[in-house]
Amino acid sequence: MSALGAVVPRRNQWHRVFVAIGIFAGIIAVLPIVGALIAAVIGSDSGARTAFASAPPGNYAVYSTAGDTTDQIRVASSTHPETTVFIAEVSHLPGFFARGAVSPDGKQLALVVADGGTQAAPEASLLVVDLETGKRTRAATGIDYLQTPLWEPDSDGVLVVDTVEEGISLLRSDAGGGTAAHIRTYDATGFYPVGFNGDGALVSILLDGRGSTAVVDGEEVALLSPSITRDWELSPDGTRIAFIETDMSSGVNYLPRIVSLASARVSAMAATADGQGLGVAWSPATGEPSFGLEPGGSGGVSAQSTGFDVPLAYSGDGSALAVTHWTGASFASPGDARFELLTPSGRTELAGATRFFGWSAR
């Protein structure tokens, strides 16, 4: 019997009335709390906006602070990173973390989140977070976890990959959700979408028994290396790829490389710095890449008295650079890591950050 039904006395059992009145009063008392909880859950779908929606002009780092089973998505100004804005929270399997990328228009964040399966065999979803409302949309399910999603230039769609029996399937999903559409399947060990060239063609890296191959619009255009490569970044004009080659001819060495893609042709690969390197970021201001070099190398990000920097990404205007700063003396002994923002006024730690996703400009 419902609480409202119980207030109708039967057989002069008035004590039930008083009990029901007490229950009803309790319900009335908690209605404001329930209402607040409901608003917190659906507020992003009913016009609520984050503080970031009205943030002043500037460059904002988009990052996460992680717990065991949740990540908090936050943004921070490059000039005042100590002041952060909470955007949303996403859940994941214990011990995992979300991987993501900010959309070209700076308004959305695509995340690959291990939110299903087991820790031994995780199943991932593609989530799209609206940075101005906090709304989270599940755009695809059942995809590979170890990947970073790639946004289309117009910020309407996201590319991800999924391992299938035939190989690796390239998928496209609308940012607003729906069924992910299959584009093509590659018989390869790994396939990584990198970016789009000036003609709007997808540039990717394919890894197989031959090594690392550049693929443009589904066509193989150049063998980058007979070895494994990593940290691929497409230049702002879409004509070159900077990457790190893993050379195992005498131990393990990480070598900075730049390849020019012109009319489906590749120029000779050339080292761009002394010694080893990890991480690549292209400067929008200069049009040239920065590599993270071991202490003593040249051609990388700013040298430090102790430790070294691995570049992550420049802001859109090139005035700020996000790096992972390591306190050790070499790649073999890297020490501890923290995220920092480098600006003309100096460097500041992005306190509490566990993943950096990119930049948004207001």
Distance CA 356, CA 298 (A): 25
- Mark out the alpha helices in the chain (DSSP H runs): 14-42
Q: How many CA atoms lie within 13 A of 277 on its CB side?
A: 31
Distance CA 101, CA 240 (A): 20
**Angstrom distances, CA of residue 1 to CA of 5, 8, 20, 29:** 6, 11, 11, 21
The residue ranges of every structural domain in the chain are 1-48
Decide if pLDDT at 249 tops 50: yes
Decide if pLDDT at 45 tops 90: no
**Average of per-residue pLDDT across 49-56:** 96
Distance CA 44, CA 33 (A): 18
Give 204-223 as a DSSP string.
EEEEETTEEEEEETTEEEEE
Q: What is the pLDDT of residue 44?
A: 42
Decide if pLDDT at 231 tops 50: yes
The answer to whether the CB of 261 falls within 8 A of the CB of 222 is: yes
Band of residue 47 on the pLDDT scale cut at 50, 70, 90:
low
**Angstrom distances, CA of residue 277 to CA of 190, 226, 230, 308, 329:** 22, 18, 11, 11, 13
- Which of 60 and 18 is assigned the larger pLDDT? 60
Decide if pLDDT at 64 tops 50: yes
Distance CA 278, CA 46 (A): 44
**Average of per-residue pLDDT across 109-124:** 96
Decide if pLDDT at 207 tops 90: yes
Min mean pLDDT across 176-180, 237-241, 307-311 is at 176-180
Band of residue 305 on the pLDDT scale cut at 50, 70, 90:
low
The answer to whether the CB of 318 falls within 8 A of the CB of 286 is: yes
Helix (H) or strand (E) holding 233: strand 229-234
Decide if pLDDT at 273 tops 70: no
Decide if pLDDT at 9 tops 60: no
Distance CA 180, CA 160 (A): 9
Band of residue 84 on the pLDDT scale cut at 50, 70, 90:
very high
Decide if pLDDT at 269 tops 50: no
Q: What is the pLDDT of residue 114?
A: 98
Min mean pLDDT across 9-13, 35-39, 89-93 is at 35-39
**Average of per-residue pLDDT across 98-122:** 97
Q: What is the pLDDT of residues 135-172, one digit of tens each?
A: 999 999 999 999 999 999 999 999 999 999 999 999 99
Band of residue 180 on the pLDDT scale cut at 50, 70, 90:
confident
Model confidence, pTM: 0.84
Distance CA 285, CA 244 (A): 22
Q: What is the pLDDT of residue 179?
A: 78
- Beta strand extents in 92-156 (DSSP E only): 99-102, 108-117, 122-130, 136-143, 150-151
**Average of per-residue pLDDT across 215-231:** 93
DSSP percent split of the chain into helix, strand, coil, nearest 5? 10, 50, 40
Band of residue 193 on the pLDDT scale cut at 50, 70, 90:
very high
Distance CA 235, CA 153 (A): 14
Mean residue pLDDT of the chain comes to 85
Q: How many CA atoms lie within 13 A of 56 on its CB side?
A: 5
Rounded to 5°, angle at Cα 356 from 114 and 55: 115
Q: What is the pLDDT of residue 298?
A: 52
The answer to whether the CB of 17 falls within 8 A of the CB of 7 is: yes
From the number of C-beta atoms within 10 Å of its C-beta (0-12, 13-18, 19+), residue 226 rates as exposed
- Mark out the alpha helices in 149-300 (DSSP H runs): none
Distance CA 245, CA 258 (A): 10
Would residue 47 be called left, alpha or beta, if left means φ above 0 and alpha means ψ between -120 and 50 degrees? left
Q: What is the pLDDT of residue 21?
A: 35
Decide if pLDDT at 326 tops 70: yes
Distance CA 140, CA 279 (A): 29
- What is the phi/psi pair of residue 131, to 5°? -70, -15
Q: What is the pLDDT of residue 276?
A: 86
Q: What is the pLDDT of residue 178?
A: 79
Q: What is the pLDDT of residue 138?
A: 96
**Angstrom distances, CA of residue 190 to CA of 121, 134, 243, 268, 281:** 18, 33, 16, 24, 22
**Average of per-residue pLDDT across 298-312:** 73
Min mean pLDDT across 93-107, 139-153, 292-306 is at 292-306
Q: What is the pLDDT of residue 262?
A: 79
